[in-house]
């Protein structure tokens, strides 16, 4: 894999966000440069300083100020954990924060985007959510929901589900789509 291959990891304000290093570390080990983007609500869900130290890059949650360098362009994007809120807004084309802006644009550009939700079964069963997932899939976004991906937990049992959150399935998903590197393949 070229040294410049960049993975955007978009973090939402959902339960396992504090363990995003479980995605960052294996991605780095497989040769990705990782740029973390957080929704405004997500910055309170994880230690942004620790993540900046790990990635060597600022965590972006807002648009750039004048004179601030651009982030490297994304070769692939993972949204994990993806919240009910962000999934629904993204499917509707809403871009009212930096993370959503980036996601709307990268989908439009045809960059591979994989979404790994973390929602309880009450959220997952809502008709708007099911429609949002279908809309995103129609656009070519992979939503790892169900067997082989994220299985919604009963409401109130999110903490127990943190440990089972399948971070690495999202990495495998984007790697499949950009040509099969990873696992030492390239
Ligand atoms: C402690 C706490 C835990 C939450 N966990 C989840 C969750 O696991 N999944 C989810 O979809 N929303 C969860 N929420 C609700 C979201 O944080 C809320 O909908 C927020 O607006 C999402 O913002 P974002 O999509 O911009 O990140 C949680 C909220 C709090 C306060």
What's the CATH number where 50 sits?
3.40.50.1950
Q: Quick check: is 164 in a domain?
A: yes
Q: Quick check: is 59 in a domain?
A: yes
Q: Which atom of ligand 1 is nearest to the CA of 15?
A: 8
- Nearest Cα residue to atom 10 of ligand 1: 83
The pTM score is 0.95
Q: Quick check: is 82 in a domain?
A: yes
> What's the pLDDT tens digit per position in 113-171?
999 999 999 999 999 999 999 999 999 999 999 999 999 999 999 888 889 999 999 99
Q: Quick check: is 182 in a domain?
A: no
C-alpha 111 to ligand 1 mean position (Å):
26
Mean residue pLDDT across the chain = 93
- Nearest Cα residue to atom 13 of ligand 1: 14
Is the predicted pLDDT of residue 60 greater than 70, yes or no? yes
Is the predicted pLDDT of residue 173 greater than 50, yes or no? yes
C-alpha 123 to ligand 1 mean position (Å):
11
Q: Average pLDDT of 29-47? A: 97
C-alpha 168 to ligand 1 mean position (Å):
21
Contact residues for 145 (Cβ-Cβ < 8 A; gap 6+):
117, 124, 133, 152
Strand 142-143, strand 76-82: pairing: unpaired
- Nearest Cα residue to atom 16 of ligand 1: 13
- Nearest Cα residue to atom 7 of ligand 1: 14
Contact residues for 7 (Cβ-Cβ < 8 A; gap 6+):
27, 32, 33, 34, 35, 74, 75, 76, 77, 78, 171, 174
Of the pLDDT bands very low, low, confident and very high (cuts 50, 70, 90), residue 70 is: confident
Q: Which atom of ligand 1 is nearest to the CA of 99?
A: 26
- Residue 3: the pLDDT is 53
Q: Quick check: is 16 in a domain?
A: yes
Count of the separate structural domains present in the chain: 1
Q: Quick check: is 186 in a domain?
A: no
Q: Average pLDDT of 180-184? A: 45
Q: Which atom of ligand 1 is nearest to the CA of 82?
A: 11
Q: Quick check: is 184 in a domain?
A: no
Q: Quick check: is 51 in a domain?
A: yes
Q: Which residues of 29-175 form beta strands (DSSP E)?
A: 33-38, 76-82, 113-117, 142-143
* Ligand 1 pocket mutation, candidates 17, 80, 83, 98, criterion most atoms within 8 A of CB: 83
The range of the structural domain enclosing residue 105 comes to 6-177
Is the predicted pLDDT of residue 186 greater than 80, yes or no? no
């Amino acid at each position: 894999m070229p040294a410049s291959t960049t993975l955007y990891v978009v973090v939402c304000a959902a339960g396992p966000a504090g363990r995003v290093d479980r995605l960052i570390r294996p991605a780095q080990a497989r040769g990705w440069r990782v740029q973390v983007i957080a929704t405004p609500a997500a910055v309170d869900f994880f230690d942004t300083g620790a993540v900046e130290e790990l990635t060597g890059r600022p965590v972006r949650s807002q648009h750039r100020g004048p004179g601030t360098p651009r982030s490297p362009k994304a070769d692939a994007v993972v949204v994990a954990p993806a919240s009910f809120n962000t999934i629904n807004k993204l499917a509707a084309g809403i871009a009212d924060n930096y993370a959503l802006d980036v996601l709307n644009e990268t989908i439009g550009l045809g960059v591979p985007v994989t979404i790994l939700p973390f929602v309880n079964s009450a959220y997952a069963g809502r008709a708007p959510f099911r429609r949002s997932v279908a809309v995103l899939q129609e656009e070519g976004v992979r939503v790892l929901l169900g067997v082989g991906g994220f299985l919604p937990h009963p409401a109130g049992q999110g903490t127990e589900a943190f440990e089972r959150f399948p971070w690495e399935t999202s990495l495998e998903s984007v790697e499949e789509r950009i040509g099969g590197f990873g696992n030492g393949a390239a």
